[in-house]
Amino acid sequence: MVESSNNSKAPIPVALSSASVYPLNVHDAFAVSHDLGYDGIEVLVTGNQISQDAAQLNRLAERYDQPIMAIHAPTLLLTQQVWGTAWNKIEASAAMAVEVGCDVVVAHPPFRWQGTYATEFSSGIRRIMEQYGVKIAVENMYPWRARGREAKMYLPHWNPIPEPYEFVTWDFSHSAIADMDSAAAFRDLGQRLSHVHLCDGKDNGKDEHLVPGLGTQPVIEAIEFLRDSEWDGVVAVEVSTRKARGAGEREAWLGETLEFARRYLAPVTTPAEAGSHSI
């Protein structure tokens, strides 16, 4: 009889963000995620009607055996016309998360010109979290610069670490633009770190969302920190493939990033664990 004392926790899931297949749509994201062997999908809500329809998303999740692991609210500049007012974007995203069976909503911090939505953001997202039973994980952004000076775009700030947010999403590309150390940020955030956008970037002012290893962020160190801690979130690949030459190169980049994630998230087996099987 073979017995094992291996009680290691389940591996951290790796999802594919539908943003990674842009300009293709969310349906294509499910197909690519399935073909490459991802664990699930993060849906970025955009002007694409499927991305706004929980029933259609559930059908795609079942068809491709790709559970939806996060909803990214339409809080980008490019999605300002989606789902009406700023508060409605957050509430509709929370409601959709419940309908598709996930508990994480990714949201950008508010822009300074968004009135009471900006000034009451922290208390407002707490109310919505309590109402819907989901986590609203506020994403780190970066300073905008005009003529060499920082333009104050976000209120209270683009950096979520010192803010009273219970849950945070961390994006490596945004961290690179802000010239921040993601590994140090992971340690600072502790249990507040709820969701990760896996990519890379450079301190060149461009939000490039590179394949990990092509930028300057300490991605390996940060990912290994998640592996070695009791972290229970999702790593969502958000790599830009807009410059890929056709589907073959797009899938190669996304497949390479999945392999990178699985390699550095895989539990380390010690010699003692390797020899812990008895007959």
For position 247, what pLDDT does the model report?
79
Domain ranges for the chain: 14-274
For position 158, what pLDDT does the model report?
96
For position 277, what pLDDT does the model report?
47
CA atoms within 13 A on the CB side of 138: 29
Q: What span, in angstroms and rounded, lies between the C-alpha atoms of 200 and 258?
A: 13
Per-residue pLDDT band for 3 (boundaries 50, 70, 90) equals: very low
Burial-class residue 118 by CB neighbours within 10 Å (0-12, 13-18, 19+).
middle
Burial-class residue 160 by CB neighbours within 10 Å (0-12, 13-18, 19+).
buried
pLDDT, tens digit, 9 for 90 and up, residues 239-274: 999 999 877 999 999 999 999 999 999 987 755 555
Q: Which residues partner with 271 through β-bridges?
A: none
Kindly state the helix (H) or strand (E) to which residue 141 belongs, with its residue range.
Answer: none
Q: Is the CA virtual torsion 7, 186, 105, 25 positive or negative?
A: negative
For position 270, what pLDDT does the model report?
59
Q: What does DSSP say about strands 149-151 and 234-237: parallel, antiparallel, or unpaired? A: unpaired
Q: What is the pTM of this model?
A: 0.92
Buried b / exposed e over 249-270, threshold 16 CB at 10 Å, is: ebbebbeebbebbbebbeeeee
What amino acid occupies position 137?
A
Instruction: State how far the alpha carbon of 147 is from the alpha carbons of 77, 112, 174, 201, in Å.
Output: 21, 20, 20, 22
For position 151, what pLDDT does the model report?
75
Q: What span, in angstroms and rounded, lies between the C-alpha atoms of 64 and 60?
A: 6
Burial-class residue 244 by CB neighbours within 10 Å (0-12, 13-18, 19+).
middle
pLDDT, tens digit, 9 for 90 and up, residues 146-175: 666 777 899 999 999 999 999 999 999 999
Q: Which residues partner with 43 through β-bridges?
A: 71
* Alpha helix ranges (H) inside the chain: 26-36, 54-64, 86-100, 115-119, 121-132, 172-177, 182-189, 219-228, 246-265, 271-274
Q: Give CATH for domain 14-274.
A: 3.20.20.150
**Residues whose CB is less than 8 angstroms from the CB of residue 206 and which lie 6 or more positions away in sequence, other chains included:** 177
